[in-house]
Chains A and B, each alone.
Chain A
Amino acid sequence: MQDILLNFFNLDIYRQVWPLLMRGLGMTVLLSLLVIPLGLAFGLALAVLYTNVRSRLLKALLAVYIDVFRAVPPLVLLIVIYFGFPFLDLDIPKVMAVVLCFTLNNSCYYGEVFRAGLESLPKGQAEAARSTGLSFMQSLRYVQIPQAARNVLPDLISNSLEVIKLTTIASAVALPELLQVARNAQSVLYNPSPIVFAALLYLALLIPLVRLISRLERRRLSARH
């Protein structure tokens, strides 16, 4: 018991690393604020393209692109980008590597979610919008996308939660986000309390989001009956 208190919940160490972890947390938040909107934007573009393109070939290419980037584990993608770029004689900053990796990966996930949303709308929606004189883009913007997004809101939020949790892989390229700074502190102090503290911070931040998603999903499930 004493061991656990000393090594996991050492309050002196908590106080000592608090400013450091807050900076790490700031980086985690910043990363999330960068990659979630990018993923949403590119995902939406992919979904609109996929649902509106007529050419079979283009559709097939899009499907391959989406499945390939859904199949490659994000960490593999990050390692290949970060350690592969120098062989192209290009230096890529850590943040850029992480943002590129997340955008490639997330846009496919968000794309699938948006596609499901757009396909859930009756065809008459787009036709009616167009027949009132709205342009293609206007019909998307004012009629289709708002309804589609509302239909898949729980999935969008749940995907975003996964993205936030996934920002921890940035530690594999030593980007100083919350997990990375906690690991650094652990190796300097010879005490794992900073990692436990970081875990507690993640929980404090994300448990409310998990509960919100559960509530939204339950509502959707009961709406089906």
Chain B
Amino acid sequence: MNTQGLIFSFFNPDVIGKYYPFILSGMWVTVQVGAAVVATGLALGFLLAYARACGLRPANFLIVAFADVLRSLPPLVGIILLFFAFPYIGISMSAFTATWLALSLVLAAFAEEIFWAGLQATPKGLMEAGRSTGMGWGQTMWYVVWPHALKLTIPPLTNRVIAIVKNTALGAVVGLAEVVNNAQSATSSAGSATPLTLCALGSLAIFLPVVLAGRYIEKRFR
């Protein structure tokens, strides 16, 4: 194939002009789902690790089971279960909700394990020293133990967040109008591969800064 044909298929200016707003709106949806997943996933993971630190046996069993299941289940299976299977038992949700909920739960499971490992890695003396100054368990946890544990958790947590945020693309499978989905429908209606190029560039524009930021954070906190 000649260069001109290649440019016509993959970098067609007319197709770019016609479809770039569609791809941009897909990118905006990707960013929204991604941000929502990070916020709820980390918050839930933190709460679960905190709850686990309280040391109630039955609660801990449930938390560990939740973490094991959600770390084993492929995220796409989670999204498809929520979107295609749950309506049969009367629970319907939008593609956005299904993608957000499935990925949030997965991130929460990984985050809980990472926060918990961080807590375990802090020396026991921290809690004892805090308690001996007269602070309560909750106070010691919040002001003394967590700040130490958090520092340890930042590099693995950053990696995990990046890996899971990239899974927002999986929403395309249930018809979420994010960047992959929009590019695919644009490709078939335009009969051109140019929207695919835009999709790849658009994803890079979103995730390359995230990957680079992750590298920086990992180096700083190691």
> Which residues of A line the B interface, CB within 8 A?
3-4, 7-8, 67-68, 70-77, 79-80, 83-84, 87-89, 162, 165-169, 171-172, 179, 183, 186, 191-192, 195-196, 198-199, 202-203, 206-207, 209-211, 214, 217-218, 221, 224-225
Question: Within 8 Å of chain A (Cβ to Cβ): is B121?
Answer: yes
With A87-B9, A168-B77: A79-B199 Cβ-Cβ less than 8 Å: yes
CA distance A106 to B26 in the complex (A): 26
Would A186 and B184 be within 8 Å (CB), given that A168-B74, A168-B76, A179-B77 are in contact? no
Cβ contacts A to B, 21 pairs, < 8 Å: A7-B85, A67-B208, A72-B200, A72-B203, A73-B169, A74-B166, A75-B169, A75-B180, A76-B169, A80-B199, A83-B184, A83-B196, A87-B192, A168-B74, A191-B88, A195-B85, A203-B72, A210-B72, A218-B117, A221-B120, A225-B123
B74 touches A196 (CB 8 A): no
| Minimum C-beta distance from A38 to chain B (A) | 20
Contacts A71-B203, A76-B200, A195-B77 aside, 9 further interface pairs with beta carbons under 8 A come to: A8-B85, A72-B200, A74-B166, A80-B199, A162-B163, A167-B74, A199-B81, A218-B120, A221-B121
CB distance from B121 to the nearest CB of A (A): 5
Contact pick for A186, options B84, B163, B167, CB 8 Å? B84
Q: Is the CB of A207 within 8 A of B84?
A: no
Rounded to whole Å, the gap between the CB of B68 and the closest CB of chain A is 6
Report if B56 contacts A (CB, 8 A).
Answer: no
Chain B residues near A192 (CB, 8 Å)?
A: 81, 84-85, 88
Where chain A touches its partner, the secondary structure class is helix
Q: Which residues of A contact B200 (CB under 8 A)?
A: 72, 76-77, 80
Judging by beta carbons under 8 Å apart, are B173 and A172 in contact?
Answer: yes
Contact assessment for A171 and B173 in the assembled complex, using a CB-CB cutoff below 8 Å: yes
Q: If the complex has contacts A72-B200, A73-B203, A207-B68, are A79 and B180 also in contact, measured as CB distance less than 8 A?
A: yes
Interface size class of B (residues with CB under 8 A): 35 or more
Q: Are the C-beta atoms of B196 and A196 separated by less than 8 Å? A: no
A172 to B172, Cβ gap below 8 A?
A: yes
Contact of A7 among B1, B89, B117, B167 (CB under 8 A): B89
CA distance A73 to B68 in the complex (A): 24
Please classify the interface of chain B as helix (H, G, I), strand (E, B), loop, or mixed, using the class held by over half of its residues: helix
The 3 A-B pairs at the shortest CB distance, nearest first, are namely A192-B85, A206-B72, A165-B74
Are B88 and A171 within 8 A (Cβ)?
Answer: no
- Assess whether A179 is in contact with B74, with CB atoms less than 8 Å apart: yes
Given A76-B199, A207-B69: A68 and B208 interface contact (C-beta under 8 Å) = yes
Residues of A with C-beta under 8 A to B170: 75, 169
Which residues does chain B contribute within 8 Å of A67, judged by CB atoms?
208, 211-212, 215
Interface string of B192-219 (1 = CB under 8 A from A): 1100110110011001101110010000
Say whether B196 contacts A166, CB under 8 Å.
no
Name the contact of B73 in the complex, choosing from A71, A73, A76, A202 (C-beta under 8 A): A202
Q: How far is the CB of B114 from chain A (nearest CB, A)?
A: 10
In the complex, the answer to whether A196 meets B172 with C-beta atoms within 8 Å is no
Pick the contact of B68: A77, A172, A211 (CB < 8 A): A211
A163–chain B nearest beta-carbon distance, Å: 11
CB neighbours (8 Å) of B207 from chain A are 71-73
A84 lies within 8 A of B69 (CB): no
Closest to B69 in A: A203
Which B residues are CB-close (under 8 A) to A74? 166, 169
A168 to B74, CA, bound (A): 7
